[in-house]
Amino acid sequence: MRLGKWPRRISFGMSDRSSTSERHLVIGAGPIGLAMGAALKRRGIPFDIVDVGSGVGGNWLHGVYRSAHIVSSRKATEYADYPMPEYFPDFPSADQMLAYLTAFAEDRGLLPHCEFNKKVSSVVSEDASHWTVTFADGETRTYKGVVVCNGHHWDKRYPELRGTFTGEILHSKDYRDVSQVEGKRVLVIGGGNSGVDMACDAGRFGKSCDISLKSGYWYLPKTFLGRPLTDVPIWGLPIFMQRAILRTIVKLSIGDYRRYGLQRPNHKLFDRHPAFGTDLLGAIRLGRVKPHPAIDHVDGKTVTFVDGSTGTYDLIIAATGFYTSFPFLPDGLIKVKDNVVQVYGGAFPAGIRGLYIVGWAQARNGFGRLITPLSDLYARLIAMQDELEFPIGTLMEQSFTQRLPTTHLVDPEKTRREIRLAHWVLPLLKLRDRRMARKEAFAAEKGRIPVRA
């Protein structure tokens, strides 16, 4: 495995752009887009990859701060068919992740398929079998299908503040290094992984740092008994057993969150994404970070919290997450409820042929165990679409075993088991397709409205 220090920031022309009408377009060259490209290539499906950035890597190229590192372990994050080098630490840095993804793209021969600095403006269905893609530079192409892998860490979500803050407000997406907090009175809103890192930076290098948490978080230690927690063999157990074991680990290694001035979580573990690491708890004990509850209102640079306490700040860092959105798709084409994309099988919208929404969900303990087998399954389904009368999502919609998702968090081990089962039952999709086609033909003969979406 060859790893460079940084990706080559050039745009690779695609090997043959003379005709794209029989190709699939992958939007995004991040970890998911690269995995989908590799899977399509293994299946012999022609494809192109475009990305708005200057190279592969997605968020690891243009969207992380200097001190960022993965919170799941190296083994839980690496592609199943492309391990990270053993000399990498348990929790690789942003630079190491970027080098790894670049090496993967080179090793799998994906770079000739990539075009960088290429922003997609719109994706519109041309007919029942093709999509018209328009780019920001005015170019228009026709594709057989579109695989959307545009990620979920870019459409910034800001807190709704009552009143007017006259200091600086910075979203966590725009935080790069400690120079942005040096000498400032900082308030971080949000206690997820990024918020914790930025609060710890501000606690060390800022004039002062407070953190506002609307509710309690589950903070899990990154390691347990000398191993990364995501490598401890508990993740294949039923969810109630995982919760019981992890609650015990928290009790033994951390104790009651209230001892740190934090609220107890008011939700079950994994109902929301937990935060891995105890750096915030250490910073609180060192007096570098002071916790507060939710904000009541702001006035100038003064912030009043719901418990009546106040603070004066020069900078607010909004570590309040992101929206899941697809601005290049027609409004309403893909429904999103509370960041949960309403597609079947994690990628397939009902009633739409040739459009696949991949990578919007988040694995609870590292995507590496999941992304390779899942992308291979998706590539197989994309290849199968040519043999079917109906869109795959429509066929899944008619299945009593398929339901729309209710959360954006997925259990990698459970999903892997479902993937293995899916490969065995895929022939049933063809059977259902034939039955629905016969039903449609019969309805047409009787003068009824066809069932086709």
Q: Where are the beta strands (DSSP E) in 190-286?
A: 208-212, 219-220, 223-224, 227-228, 275-276
Write down the pLDDT at residue 253.
Answer: 92
Using the structure block, give the residue that is written with the tokens 């680990």.
249
d(CA 57, CA 15): 21
Concatenate the DSSP letters of all residues of 39-97 into one string.
HHHHTT--EEEE-SSSSS-THHHHS--TT-B-SS-HHHHSBTTBPPPTTS-SS-BHHHH
Contacts of 450 (CB under 8 A, 6+ apart): 440, 443, 444
Q: Do domains 24-154+323-445 and 158-320 have the same CATH topology?
A: yes
At CA 22, angle to CA 20 and CA 23, rounded to 5? 60
DSSP 8-state assignment for residue 12: P
What is the rounded radius of gyration, in angstroms, for the C-alpha atoms of the chain?
24
Reported as type and span, the H/E element at residue 440 is helix 412-445
pTM beyond cutoff 0.75? yes
For residue 18, what pLDDT is reported? 53
Burial environment of residue 35 by CB neighbours within 10 A (0 to 12, 13 to 18, 19 or more): buried
Domain 158-320: CATH superfamily, name plus number = FAD/NAD(P)-binding domain (3.50.50.60)
Q: Which residue ranges make up each domain of the chain?
A: 24-154+323-445, 158-320
Sign of CA dihedral 366, 372, 374, 378: positive
Q: Comparing C-alpha atoms, which of 174, 224, 175, 216 is closest to residue 192?
A: 216
Superfamily in which the 24-154+323-445 domain is placed by CATH: FAD/NAD(P)-binding domain (3.50.50.60)
Q: Tens of pLDDT along the chain (453 residues)?
A: 445 433 333 344 444 545 889 999 999 999 999 999 999 999 999 999 999 999 999 999 988 898 899 999 999 999 999 999 999 999 999 999 999 999 999 999 999 999 999 999 999 997 878 999 999 999 999 999 999 999 988 999 999 999 999 999 999 999 999 999 999 999 999 999 999 999 999 999 999 999 999 999 999 999 999 999 999 999 888 899 999 999 999 999 999 999 999 999 999 999 888 999 999 999 999 999 999 999 999 999 999 999 999 999 999 999 999 999 999 999 999 999 999 999 999 999 999 999 999 999 988 878 888 999 999 999 999 999 999 999 999 999 988 678 898 888 888 888 888 899 898 888 888 899 898 888 888 777 776 655 554
Residue 128: the pLDDT is: 77
